[in-house]
Structure 1
């Protein structure tokens, strides 16, 4: 919708960078892993993650559910956002932050933030 209206789209990510990477790299994760695998150096900056620790919409479960489809589309379109502020701080996952900064426009850490703050605005 923002593209149609020719206005910037800011995709605020309220979770940490690991889950953002999981959604951004969903296609790669699905292509390179099996249901019981762990991710080892698949995503630059994300050393080792058990697939069971990722959101179920990424790799297993009902991948055709409306929620899984929406999250997959969102992950594929993140690189089109004008900015991607994330509720984390760079020092928590510096290598992953560096990787995502090279893939996403204006990837900035603004956290940790209290989500209640955003309901007051």
Structure 2
């Protein structure tokens, strides 16, 4: 729409620079492999600056589905195709975390800006409102009967907790998480080591 009206537009990429880079190189990745079956094999992504240690097996299979891709994958691919036409590309990250990828993305998008971590910005609503959005009631209902009673001695189930305050507490030695980008940024800004369990 912005292009049709000839007005500047600036997309905000909320995921990591690695994520954006893998999207930018989707066509090359697809050309480098033949099918979803080959994607399961270990094939190095040596042609992507900063991701040379990654393999096709590290990527979600949806990227290789071509015309059978989900609507979400198709939408993201279309968005990424239009990024070079934007006034700037803004990323919720900082260049020091992925300097090689940042340099490569700057070569593709002249006005590529790392403006994060955005979690350091002051909140516009209360932390509880921001974190919950009414989600916790549904989550508690989906737990098996007696789950909270059986697990009380191993930990604590609460409807909501101030995660950044908890991470900042001196007694927290490590943070186990599912590798969501905001969780990673919260851990880094709190100087808490991570145990990453993708897709927990």
Partners of 1:106 and 1:29 lie apart in 2 by 25
Find the residue that maps to 2:118 and give its secondary structure. Answer: coil
The structure with the largest strand share of the pair is: 1
User: Which moved further from structure 2: 95-104 or 48-57?
Assistant: 48-57
Give yes or no for the alignment of 1:54 onto 2:59.
yes
For structure 2, the 5+ residue unaligned runs are 126-200
Query: Larger RCO: Structure 1 or Structure 2 (Cα < 8 Å, ≥ 6 residues apart)?
Result: 1
Per the TM alignment, residue 54 of structure 1 is displaced from its structure 2 partner at its CA by: 3.0
Paired residue total: 120
CA-based RMSD of the aligned residues comes to 2.6
The structure-2 alpha-carbon separation of the partners of 1:40 and 1:10, relative to structure 1 and needing over 3 Å to count, comes to same
Q: Which residue of 2 aligns with 1:109?
A: 114
Instruction: State TM-score, norm by structure 2.
Output: 0.53
User: 2:63–2:69: 8 Å Cα contact kept in structure 1?
Assistant: no
Secondary structure of the equivalent of 1:45? coil
Gaps spanning 5+ residues in structure 1: where? none
Matched, 1:83 2:124: no
Aligned match of 2:10: 10
Rg larger for: 2
| Residues 54, 3 of structure 1: alpha-carbon distance in 2 compared, 3 angstrom cutoff | same
1:100 and 2:105 aligned = yes
Distance 2:57 2:21 in 1: 15
**Given the superposition, is the C-alpha separation of residues 71 and 39 from structure 1 closer, same or farther in structure 2, using an over 3 Å criterion?**
farther
Whole-angstrom distance in 2 between the partners of 1:118 and 1:42: 40
Q: TM-score of the superposition, structure 1-length normalised?
A: 0.83
Pair 1:45 & 2:50 matched: yes
**Match 1:73 to one of 42, 56, 78:** 78
Matched-pair contact (CA < 8 Å) for 1:16–1:86: yes
